[in-house]
Structure 1
Amino acid sequence: MTDRVPYREAIALEPTALATCLAAVTGRLASVDAAPLTSGTVVLTGIGASLYAAVAAAAHMRSRGLRAFALPGTDLYDASIDAADAYIAFSASGRSVEPAKAMEIRPDAATYGIAAVDGSPLSRVVKQMIASQSGVDSGPNTTSYLGSLLTAALLTEKAGTPSGTDWSALPPAVAAVLNDTRKQADKAARLLAGKAAIDCVGSASAYGTAGYTALLIREAARIAAQEWDTLNFLHGPMEPNDADSAVILFGDGREVKLARDLADFGIPSVLVTSHADIEDNDNLVVIPVPRFADGIGDAILQALPAQLLIATLSEEAGLPVCNFRYRQTDTKLAV
């Protein structure tokens, strides 16, 4: 298990954590057989934040020519259903029951595990384990979430069509975004303060970011939150929104018009986008984040201002450290 530190402290560690992850995973992948991922169907699975990492990673893998889809671990509990030709299980701690069980009941399948450390229960039920070595983490997950995404991206480089991305440039890019978006993230937190519910919206890999953000809001700030695919959000889910709720959007496409429309309707909104020419207004805070690489590269950078604004929300709620009030006893496997 990784050590735990306060949420904002872990955010500051992310550039170093990703640099360590890049070196560790690059070395590990030299001996990983990625052939089972190159043909047929790949299912990526997880639970909690790791499920949203799987959602972002599956979209990224599809963009690189792999047939990949994300499912919750519980959707794989029936071993008689041959859902895929290969499976990738995500678990930050390597101890989550659901993805481990989904792998354990498929002993003959091609299975991979992605976790922060090796030697976890997950490593005992998959054929090939890849540890991100992302190091010190917080509750809710910060460094381990981004480490899982980077690990998936590097695995995709080996299995799919190479993207040509210089992943060594990611840690300094993360440091720059954390520094450059801090002011707008605090402004966004002030806009969202006191809201009864927050919707989080994005598409493709950004849909995973939306899910991760909604979970962070629920865990760290104890505000009701929900993720939505961008176009799905237009088909009714936005109807309850008003001045007492808010929306966080991630993206450069339909999300831009939607953010402006929501603000005009009087709904407080935050837009995380690569567009640098969109101005704030009374109901809209725009957080420009530069493009890095399609898919996971951009998803990592877009998650950063969300982490920062949620850190502010949690601190203002008197919750600088996330301690679950209703922790359950049957969600983790013993080490």
Structure 2
Amino acid sequence: MDRADYWNTLRDQPQSLAGTTTAVKQALAGAALPPWRAGEVLAVFAMGASTWAAEFLVHEARRRDRVVLNWPAADWRGLSFSPAALAIGISESGRSPETIEALARCAGHRIVITNVAGSPVVAVADTVVPLGSVSDAGVYVSGYTSTLVALALVGESLGLAGLADELESAPRRVGEWVPSVMAAVDGLLSRHYATTSPGSVECVGAGSSFASAGETALLVREAGRLPSACFQTDQYLHGPAEALPGASCCVVFGGGRAVELVQVMVGDGVPVLHISTAPVPGSIGITLPVASPLVTSILEVIVGQVLAGRLGDRRGHEIGTFHHSFAGTKLPTNPSAEG
């Protein structure tokens, strides 16, 4: 899998989304997926950014009276049995050992979403859904939005009607969206952080926007190298908001109870980036077009990608490089060379 420049990858997502759509549709056309019966649990095995992408599926399945368990893949080790007759494993690199181990222990049908054909995760798959070998940065950018597309198309194939609505419009909308997001993020930083950066970034969202909040917080840490946190909107109102204002900025996705949150934060002088179809006056608002949940989720996370990238550029490091290295997060690409 190619590793590309962060900003080029971000801007090239219209092409990667179109390529993934074609690849996934071709794979599913020849797949024999089992039925997902009412009352059955679907398990997701993933780590890192892939876990956040799966929160989109969790919420959209719940809206349709279906249950998806999205524990981190590492947490499935504690079970002596598999509670799911159907599982989706997600590993963009195909080398996440926790995901591979969880899939190996699963007794049900295993659908694997990966960007790398022939990677180790394919050996524990009953159905392989490729992302199309999209080029990605050192931190997952195009791989994340492509995974959303794959989850929507797989979900529809399993009976979640309408999950991929408006997918064909996504590449065009993303191409139109990126310049306006860059302008809004630059406005936030120049208005509130002309000579410094936020001490931390708190990301808040509910429903499928919880996925966007979680992935934004992860990107701020990985690409921006700043402390961040993620909260579900209703949970945030039950105490966590007390840490503001401090030196934090707040990134809030969506409406509903988020509107009151943004109003209070603006009144208290907290820098707030509000991504919504109707941003609260006084915030740095980014107005989402009315769109399907899938397209909305893609557009939302691009805000997080731009913000994290701008913060990373300010800190002066090469985005996609890591100064901490941990054993066991990826299987080696050449096992014989690494023992």
TM-score by shorter chain over 0.5: yes
Contact 2:185 2:307 in 1 (8 A): yes
Whether the 8 Å contact between 1:52 and 1:209 is mirrored in structure 2 is yes
Structure 1 residue 32, shift from structure 2 partner? 2.1
- Aligned counterparts, 1:100-249, within 5 A: 100-106=100-106, 108-133=107-132, 135-163=134-162, 165-190=165-190, 191=192, 193-249=196-252
Determine the structure 1 residue equivalent to 2:323: 325
| Aligned-partner Cα distance in 2 for 1:112–1:165 | 21
Gaps of 5+ in 2: 334-339
Relative to the length of structure 1, the TM-score reads 0.93
Q: What displacement does 1:99 show?
A: 1.1
Question: Which has the larger displacement, 264-273 or 145-154?
Answer: 264-273
What does the per-residue CA deviation read over 1:193-223, in whole Å, with 9 as the maximum and x for residues that have no partner?
5222111100121111111000100011111
Percent identity, aligned pairs only, is: 27
Q: Distance in 2 between matches of 1:57 and 1:136?
A: 24
How many equivalent residue pairs? 328
Aligned to 2:304: 306
Residues 270-325 of structure 1: CA deviation (Å, up to 9, x unaligned)? 1111126x43x3xx21111213202x321111111221122111111112422111
1:248 match: secondary structure? strand
Cα distance change on mapping 1:68 and 1:8 into 2, 3 Å: same
Distance 1:94 1:213, change over 3 A: same
How many angstroms apart in 1 are the aligned matches of 2:52 and 2:133? Answer: 18
Q: Provide the secondary structure at the position in 1 that maps to 2:289.
A: coil
Please give the per-residue CA displacement for 1:95-146, whole angstroms capped at 9, x wherever unaligned.
111111111122x321111112221111111211111115110021100011
**3-state SS of paired residue (1:238):** helix
Structure 1 counterpart SS, 2:242:
coil
Q: Which residue of 2 aligns with 1:90?
A: 90
Structure-2 change in CA distance of 1:65 and 1:161 (3 Å): farther
How much has 1:65 moved relative to structure 2? 4.4
Structure 1 runs (4+) deviating above 4 angstroms are none
Q: CA RMSD in A?
A: 1.7
